[in-house]
Amino acid sequence: MSGPRPDDPGRRVVVPGEGRADREERRTMTDHPDDRSATLLGERRQLISLAYRLLGSLAEAEDAVQEAYARWYAMSAERQDAVASPGAWLSTVTSRICLDLLGSARARRERYVGEWIPEPLPDGDWGRPAAAVPADPADRVTLDESVGMAFLVALESMTPAQRVALILHDVFGYAFAEIADITGRTPAACRELASAARRRVRTPGVHAAPAESQADLVRSFKQAWEARDIRTLVGLLDPAATFTADGGGLVTTTLHPVEGGDRIAQYMMEISAARPVDVTLLERTVNGRPGLIARLADTTVAVYAFDVTDDRITHIWAVRNPEKLRPWTRP
C-alpha cells in the first residue's frame, strides 16, 4: 500500500510533542527559497495568524504552518506548477492540519494539570485576513475580537468543526463552499456550524468596554494591587468575577477558578504577599487588549488578560506556564 500523498491535507498530522531537531529539519526546507518560494514565504505571517486563531497556541500554530510548507516542498515541480494559487493551497492545507490537531488537542487538555488557557500573544499585529469578510455584520467576528482572550476561551467549548467554520467564515471571509471542502461537510452544514458557534461566543446585551476605559481600569487594578489596597480591588471587580490561572503543573498556582470579587481580591493579596520583591508589574497589550505582565529580571513570569464589562472587571486570566511565556521573554 502506498503512503499518503505529500499534498493530501489532513493525512499527515503534526505531532505537538515532536523534538526540536524534527522542527529544525523541517525549517531547513524553507531556508533557501527561490523567487517563487520567497513569495510563498511571504504568506507565513498570514498562515500563522490563521493557525493561532484555530488552535489557541502560537507554538502549535508555527508547527502547523511549517508542516504545510513541508508538504508543498515535498511535491514535484510539476505538481507545484499545477496549483493555480499556492497561497490558497497553503491556507487550505494549514486549515486541515489544524482541524486534525483540534481533534487530538481535546484529549491532551483533559490530561492537563489545572486549567488550560490559550497561549497569550504579546504586542504586535498578528496578521489581517486577506480575504473579504462577510458583508453582514451579524455574520462576522471582528479582527480584534478574534484574538481576544475571552473569545479564544469560548472557542474551547466548541467542536473542532464549529471552531474551524466560525474562524474561516467570520474572520477570514471563506465561503461556506470552501469550508465544506476543508471539513468534508456540505456548505449548508458548515453554515449551521458557524451559526451554532456564533451563539456560543455572544451574550445578548453584553458589550466589551472601549479600549480606553479598559486601560484605565487595568491601570487602577495594577496600582491597587501594588498598594495592597483590597478595598479598591473589590470595587474594581464585578461581584460575579472569575479568576482563572494556568500553571501547567510547572509552577504553583490555583488549580481551579476563583469566583467572586471578594475572593479574587483576597487571592490577589495572597499572590502579592508571596511574590518576590524584585518582581515588577508592567502594563502591556495582551491579545489586543490592555493587560499586565509580571517580570523577574528579563524573564516574564506571568501574563494577565482581562475582560471588562460595564466598567467592572469580569474575568482575569493568569498565564504562568513558562512554556506559554517564551514569546514574552527578552532574548
Q: 126 falls in which pLDDT band (50, 70, 90)?
A: very low
Sign for the CA dihedral angle at 249, 255, 257, 260 comes to negative
Residue range 164-184: mean pLDDT, rounded: 94
In whole angstroms, give the CA distance from residue 89 to residue 171. Answer: 18
Contacts of 199 (CB under 8 A, 6+ apart): none
In whole angstroms, give the CA distance from residue 307 to residue 241. Answer: 9
Place of cell 502579592: 272
Average pLDDT over all residues of the chain: 83
Whether residue 225 contacts residue 218, with contact meaning beta carbons closer than 8 Å, is answered with: no
Give 204-224 pLDDT, tens digit per residue.
545 666 777 899 999 999 999
Q: 137 falls in which pLDDT band (50, 70, 90)?
A: very low
pLDDT at 288: 87
Closest to 49 in 3D by CA, of 15, 91, 106: 91
- Beta pairing, strands 299-309 & 258-259: unpaired
Closest to 317 in 3D by CA, of 327, 308, 307: 307
Give 265-322 pLDDT, tens digit per residue.
999 999 999 888 889 999 999 998 899 999 998 899 999 999 998 889 999 999 999 9
Give 287-296 pLDDT, tens digit per residue.
988 999 999 9
In whole angstroms, give the CA distance from residue 225 to residue 272. Answer: 7
Q: At 224, which helix (H) or strand (E)?
A: helix 211-227
Count the neighbouring beta carbons within 10 Å of the beta carbon of residue 2. Answer: 4
Q: 331 falls in which pLDDT band (50, 70, 90)?
A: low
Q: Name the amino acid, one letter, at 171.
A: V
pLDDT at 15: 35
74 alpha carbon, distance to own chain's centre: 29
State the cell numbers at 247.
500553571
Residues 16-22: contacts with CB under 8 Å, at least 24 apart: 16/59, 16/60, 16/63, 16/101, 16/104, 16/105, 16/108, 18/63
State the cell numbers at 324.
506559554
Residue range 240-261: mean pLDDT, rounded: 96
Q: 155 falls in which pLDDT band (50, 70, 90)?
A: very high
How large a percentage of the chain has pLDDT more than 90? 63
pLDDT at 209: 67
Count the neighbouring beta carbons within 10 Å of the beta carbon of residue 127. Answer: 19
Give 21-56 pLDDT, tens digit per residue.
333 444 444 444 466 777 788 889 889 999 999 999
Give 140-152 pLDDT, tens digit per residue.
455 567 888 999 9
